[in-house]
Structure 1
Amino acid sequence: MAFVFYAIRRCGVSRVWDRCALITVTALTAATALAAAGPASASASVPGRDVTVMTFNIHHGTDPDDVLNLDHVAQTVEQSGADVIGLQEVDRHFASRSEFVDQAEWLAERLGLHLAYGTNLDLDPEKPGDPRRQYGTAILSRFPITNSHNTLLPRSETGEQRGLLEADLMVRGKKFRFLNTHLEHTSQAERHTQVAAINTIVNGSRLPTVLVGDLNATPGSGEIASVTKRLTDTWPVAGKGDGFTYDSVNPRERIDYVFASQGVEARRAQVLDVAISDHRPLRVELSIQ
């Protein structure tokens, strides 16, 4: 109330009393409103930390007819309006199937986004002096990536190497963790061991955390039940319908997911109706509390 008394003192004894009275009443009204609002008013004025995320298995940029068109992937990401995107099956100088292009870097530059890449397969080049042939996952982000790390997941002797790509993002002054993975498609037992490794990493996170990816497992499976002991499957919370993501031409399974930890609220989930890969992208609008 100090500024109320300041307003009265500033007016003093004057012939313009009406004007002073108006200043005093206005100040008193403002002070009363602030007192009634309390601390919650200050927090309400802080801009929201809304983030739209997407997961998309891009099948190294080829469509269901196996025709390469990476720009279709870029256009889909662009039109989705997603802020953070987890991509699976991303080539880097890998093979003729993707024309030996560094797809991760190409997409990041084409879209003007920050990039983190997780190398799961790292092979010698076909010709000496060429870049190493890499295959894995990528994270594209409108927000700065302050740290990233790829963890190779357990596999059998015959299984393909899989990984968990982690990125810490700074969203309007708030840090949160974004994880992207692609689990083994041939063995449920192998997926269980991979999920156990992922859970260990998730349990060690003290940040609001989002896990996305192609888990090659349906919602009723033991693998998904294990993930949801700590994280929430956002589709039942914020989506409508069956949420099928595979395959893109005749969707019949939900195997692509966005999971969220406490402190992250799902507001809307949507499977995009496009067939530019063998999977359909999953887009989810989130709020970081």
Structure 2
Amino acid sequence: MTIRVGTYNLHGLRDSVPALARVIADARADVLCVQEAPRFLRWRARRAALAAASGLSVATPGRVGGVAVLVGPRARVLHAETRRLRAFLGLERRALAVAVVQAEGARLAVGSLHLDLHDAARMRHAVEAVALMEDVAARHGAAVVLAGDVNEHPHRPAWRYLAGRLADCYAVAPEGDGLTFPAGKPSARIDGVFAARGTHVVSCGGVRAASADLTGASDHLPVVAELRVGH
């Protein structure tokens, strides 16, 4: 069976929330990693309302780092947590949101990550996130999937590290042009889904949604990987 795992930077819900909900629904993700989710005023209610409008629910606790994992009805949540990553003086606090899910016999440890614009912090957090994901996956007998806004190009060190430890799903089975930023005129692939190498990547690319919704929902475009785990 296949599981659809996606990633989407929500731009703090500063754009059209109805368009955002439609794009998320069109993604048909069983598990969706989000970044720049609301984390201040009424953050729980705003996250829950967006998820519900998109046919999903919020799996992970906490607001730190603006990261979260949303799940669809096919995914049963076995474990969820949000872990703070190393603090860097003067930089935004980053975190990793993790949900261990089971869907029709396949078990995945899915992490949502938003890396910094600062080179050293970005690399440190990439290494830290992979170690945390491997630990959670080992404890729960799950395959790792790490997704998010990497904030750099695929030839740069942090992306290369992630793609060295896990498979860059788009590079394995590309669908569409793969560019994710900026949404209105995309010129860079800075958002990605990375999966354990034992996972078969069926496809990975953008979401088939109305052009007006994609440009009106966020400054990023979503990415969805279709994965086959097990037999």
The answer to whether TM tops 0.5 is yes
Counterpart selection for 1:156 from 88, 99, 115: 88
* Structure of higher RCO (CA pairs closer than 8 Å, 6+ residues apart): 2
Correspondence 1:209 to 2:144: yes
Deviation at residue 240 of structure 1 after TM alignment: 4.3
- Structure-to-structure mapping, 1:89-100, within 5 angstroms: 89-92=36-39, 94-95=40-41
Which residue number corresponds to residue 223 of structure 2?
Answer: 282
Match of 2:69 among 135, 139, 143: 139
Equivalence for 1:199: 130
Structure 1 segment 2-41 matched on structure 2, within 5 A:
none
1:246-285 to 2 correspondences below 5 Å: 246-272=181-207, 274-275=214-215, 276-285=217-226
Q: Cα–Cα, structure 1 residues 242 and 201, in superposed 2: closer, same or farther, change >3 Å?
A: same
Asked if the contact 1:148–1:168 (Cα under 8 Å) also holds between the matched residues in 2, the reply is: yes
**1:213, 1:283 → 2: CA distance?**
11
Contact 1:56–1:279 (CA under 8 A) maintained in structure 2: yes
1:74 aligns with 2:21: yes
The residue type equivalent to 2:11 in the other structure is H
Residue 53 of structure 1 deviates from its aligned partner by 1.5
Counterpart AA for 1:139 = V
| Residue in structure 2 matching 1:106, options 46, 49, 53 | 49
Give a deviation string over 1:34-61, Cα, whole Å, max 9, x none. xxxxxxxxxxxxxx2x111211101012
Aligned partner of 2:30 in structure 1 is 83
Report how far residue 100 of structure 1 moved.
6.5
Normalising by the residue count of structure 1, what TM-score does the alignment of the two structures yield?
Answer: 0.70
Percent of residue pairs identical: 28
Instruction: Give yes or no for contact 2:83–2:95 (8 Å, CA) kept in 1.
Output: yes
- Gaps of at least 5 residues in structure 1 are 1-47, 64-68, 122-134
C-alpha RMSD of the superposition? 1.9
> Using the alignment, how far apart are the partners of 1:203 and 1:110 within structure 2?
32
SS at match of 1:91: coil
For residue 62 of structure 2, what is the aligned residue in structure 1? 119
Instruction: Provide the residue aligned with 1:22 in structure 2.
Output: none
Residue type matched to 2:180 in 1?
T
Deviation at 1:180, TM superposition (A): 0.6
TM-score computed with the length of structure 2 as normaliser: 0.87
